[in-house]
Amino acid sequence: MTLKTSGVIALALAAGAAALVGALQPDPQNQSNPQGKNQPDAKPDVRELIQPAFVPPTPKPVPNLPVVKKTELEDGLIVEDMKIGEGYEVKPGGAVVAHYHGTLKSTPEKAFDSSFERGEPIAFPLSGVIMGWQKGVPGMKVGGIRRLTIPSKLGYGERGAGADIPPNSDLVFVIELVDALQIEDVKAGEGEAVDGPCVAVTAYTIKDKDGKEIEKATSDKPYIWIPGEFQPIQFGLEGMKVGGKRRLTVPKEMNMTPPQLMSTRPQEVPITIDVELLVVRNLQPKR
């Protein structure tokens, strides 16, 4: 649902904004004393209180550490661990918060995309990225740093990707795993399994870091998930079978709700979700 401002409200907002701007203009009677010193009616300058100054993220250097473990898979994917993490281990089909630095294998000095340079990691499900990541990231532990050398068939293949990634390009990614969606199977289901994009019907309970219940959907009034919703529950359903129950521990970077859902739960804070899969309809099964 998209909220639109009516013409009347828009005019009222414009008038209010004009009044606010006028109120913030310097008093001409105080021009000879711009600081308002010794003036009993001097008003504080509140302009700086309206909008805090934006502080851009600080770029982070790309890790360049000695390789401690190297594995070459049959499909040509090369996995090199520069640092073994000590946190949660990512499972296939999971979701992660990661820094990355991507280059063509032929031009390693030039990045086509880098979250390190932007200074902010990103959160995403592995099901939404290239196959080289889907195969190369599982097994990493939070805190780990890994380099993937990805053959073009596991990257963008013959089509390439825009001007920066020509067709048939081998890719190199340095990945730092900042956090991950933690998935714990509480009860194994016996029905159909989630296999890629799907429509899923679930019951769930969301709790904050202190264990306080903040959102709930029951089996009598379940929630229907559709593809494309950027929701942590969807990230944790892959491989789950109908009748099964899982507990998801969600990093703060993944706790985001699309505006159209208008959720009242706190955003961008860690949460725990207990989810039960009631019904699933797979749209593009891979198996």
**Domain segments of the chain as ranges:** 69-180, 188-282
The matching CATH number, chosen from 3.30.470.10, 3.30.540.10, 3.10.50.40, 1.10.3720.10, for 69-180 is: 3.10.50.40
Q: What does CATH list as the number for 188-282?
A: 3.10.50.40
Long-range contacts of 195-198 (CB under 8 A, 24+ apart): 195/238, 195/239, 195/282, 195/285, 195/286, 195/287, 196/127, 196/238, 196/282, 196/283, 196/284, 196/285, 196/286, 197/227, 197/282, 197/283, 197/284, 198/225, 198/227, 198/237, 198/280, 198/281, 198/282, 198/283
Structure tokens of 3? 């909220």
Find out whether 104 and 112 touch, Cβ atoms under 8 Å. yes
Residue 43's pLDDT is 54
Whether 69-180 shares its CATH topology with 188-282 is answered: yes
Residue 30 pLDDT level (bands cut at 50, 70, 90): very low
Q: How many CA atoms lie within 13 A of 280 on its CB side?
A: 25
Q: Residue 94 in contact with residue 138, Cβ under 8 Å?
A: yes
Q: Count CA within 13 A, CB hemisphere, residue 108.
A: 9
Q: Are 157 and 75 in contact (CB under 8 A)?
A: no
pLDDT reported for residue 52: 56
> Mean pLDDT over residues 46-50, rounded?
49
Q: Which residue has the higher pLDDT, 76 or 4?
A: 76
pLDDT confidence of 44, banded at 50, 70, 90? low
Q: Share the mean pLDDT of the chain.
A: 81
- 7 pLDDT tier (thresholds 50, 70, 90): very low
Maximal CA-CA distance, the chain: 81
